[in-house]
Amino acid sequence: MALEHNRDRHDPAIARHLADRITRTNKRPIRLMEVCGTHTVSIFRSGIRSLLPDTVSLLSGPGCPVCVTAQKEIDAFIKLTREPDTMVATFGDLIRVPGSGSSLQREKADGADVRIVYSTFDALALARQHPDKRVVFLGVGFETTAPTVAAAILAASQEGLKNFFVISAHKIVPPALTALATGKINIDGFLLPGHVSVIIGVDAYRPFFKAHQVPCVVAGFEPTDLLQGIAMLVDQIEAGAPALENAYARAVTDAGNVKAVEVMQQVFEVADADWRGIGTIASSGLAIREAYAAFDALNAFDITMQPVPEPKGCACGEILTGVKIPPQCPLYKTVCNPMAPVGPCMVSSEGTCAAYYRYHSTNKI
Ligand code: SF4
């Protein structure tokens, strides 16, 4: 069933049909992982878990960029706020993430110049407006965000701006799938992220699929999109016929957004990256190329990233890899809640702990 029209994506009859198809087809316990944080929130908000048979489990993966940002990266962001004549520009989700001894929010309250922006280009505008300040944009995100950050660096380069910098903690999704597929948890199928796939296209997953032969379906964000993606995964699993399929063809092509990928690759090169809970994944991050080193905050500031332990008792790492669910964390709802978060999974609007906290009473866990 193709969901080509808007009315299809909101049609309860289609949702019911897809849920029935999943129930009819499913014969054994299976574990699916939705890799994307936006999928996690959409699944909870729409109550999809309650429509699935008990034998189909949904695990939330490492698809919330704030959540997978390593503790040492958060600490480096906080150190930047203490540099003289420096303004730090960040997306709002990051501001409350606890570092080892502080947070961006606490530094701001103590007088640091921390600005919340909605786009990298807002940070660029701040650099133009404040030539006496060094403006650092905190680059956190996946392939969805990185092209815009790259475009801002290109614009700064063309304008000859000398006071705009980016600290790149960007991460890319396909290498993380390999880490998950070879990790502690047996995952029967992956619901692949919609937004990231708009940029990188279905072809970007082919090497992973070829190597691991795990059922994979790219899915959109409406409830029927998600149910269709789950139904396609269940079909593949029950038939013993793994495939890489696209349930979001109205937005995702095989090649992706070629121009956006070109811009991203012009400015960034692939590098190893540390993921919270997973550790270092080879070739899973984006570093600023030498040609644009003048805009790299790691060159312009005396900032080093030292490995630091994650918050004591916080199980974010295990939650991001599907090993645990939030109620299995002893701090969940006891000392950790959205008003007093211990880890980033409770801070971010796309975090799994925040989604459980907000929606668990209306969902099957
Ligand atoms: Fe970390 Fe809080 Fe989630 Fe526990 S409930 S894993 S402490 S964010």
Pick from 257, 280, 302: which residue ends a domain? 302
Domain count for the chain, please give it: 2
Residues 15 and 132 in one domain: yes
pLDDT at res. 305: 86
Q: What is the pLDDT of residue 5?
A: 55
47 CA distance to ligand 1 centroid (A)?
22
The CATH code of the domain that includes 287 is 3.40.50.11740
Please state, in angstroms and rounded to a whole number, the distance separating the CA atoms of residues 92 and 326.
23
Considering the domain architecture, whether residues 127 and 105 belong to the same structural domain is answered as: yes
Closest CA to ligand 1's atom 3: 353
Distance 359 CA to ligand 1 centre (A): 16
| Cα pseudo-dihedral 137, 138, 143, 147, rounded to 10 | 10
Assess whether 78 and 160 both reside in one domain. yes
Q: Is residue 240 part of a domain?
A: yes
pLDDT digits (tens, 9 = 90+) for 264-320: 999 999 999 999 878 899 999 999 999 999 999 999 999 888 888 888 899 998 999
3-class secondary structure for 223-262? Answer: HHHHHHHHHHHHHHHHHCCCCEEECCCCCCCCCCCHHHHH
Q: Does 148 map to a domain?
A: yes
**183-206, pLDDT tens digit by residue?**
877 899 999 999 999 999 999 999
Q: Domain limits at 328?
A: 316-357
Do the domain assignments include residue 308? no
Residue 3 lies in a domain: yes
Task: Specify whether the CB–CB gap between 170 and 224 falls below 8 A.
Answer: no
CB atoms within 10 A of CB 304: 9
Give residues (CB < 6 A) around ligand 1.
314-316, 319, 326, 329, 331-332, 336, 341-343, 345-346, 353
Residue 5's Cβ-count burial label (10 Å; 0-12, 13-18, 19+) is exposed
Q: Is 218 left (phi over 0), alpha (psi -120 to 50) or beta?
A: beta
The token pair that represents 11 in the structure block: 């049609």
Of 255, 275, 302, the domain-final residue = 302
Per-residue model confidence (pLDDT) at position 12: 82
Residues 32 and 109 in one domain: yes
Answer yes or no: do 107 and 152 share one domain.
yes
341 C-alpha vs ligand 1 centroid, how far in Å?
7
Give the residue from 269, 316, 259 showing the smallest Cα distance to 291. Answer: 269
- 32 and 3 within one domain: yes
In whole angstroms, what is the distance from residue 357 CA to residue 104 CA?
Answer: 23
Beta bridge partners of 31: 57
Residue 365 included in any domain: no
Name the amino acid, one letter, at 89: A
Q: How far is CA 4 from CA 1, 11, 139, 250, 273, in A?
A: 9, 12, 35, 7, 38
pTM of the predicted protein model: 0.92
Question: Residue 15 carries which side chain, given as an amino acid letter?
Answer: A
Contact 136, 153 (CB under 8 A): no
Of the three residues 259, 279, 302, the one that is the final residue of a domain is: 302
Q: Does 137 share its domain with 275?
A: yes
| Most informative mutation of 96, 314, 335, 358 for ligand 1 (most atoms within 8 A of CB) | 314
User: Quick one: 340 and 287 in the same domain?
Assistant: no
Instruction: Verify that 255 and 323 share a domain, yes or no.
Output: no
Q: Do 198 and 339 fall into the same domain?
A: no
- Asked, for residue 160, whether it belongs to a domain, the answer is yes
In a domain, 280, yes or no: yes
- Tell whether 311 is covered by a domain: no
Task: Return the ∠ at Cα 320 (arms to 264 and 175), rounded to 5°.
Answer: 40
Nearest CA to ligand 1 atom 7: 314
Domain shared by 298 and 320, yes or no = no
Q: What is the DSSP secondary structure assignment for residue 160, as one 8-state letter?
A: T
Q: 319-348 pLDDT, tens per residue?
A: 999 999 999 999 999 999 999 999 999 998
User: Do 180 and 320 share a domain, yes or no?
Assistant: no
Gap between the Cα atoms of 271 and 138, Å rounded: 17
Structural contact between residues 352 and 320, judged by C-beta atoms closer than 8 angstroms: yes
**Ligand 1 center–CA 131 separation, angstroms:** 40
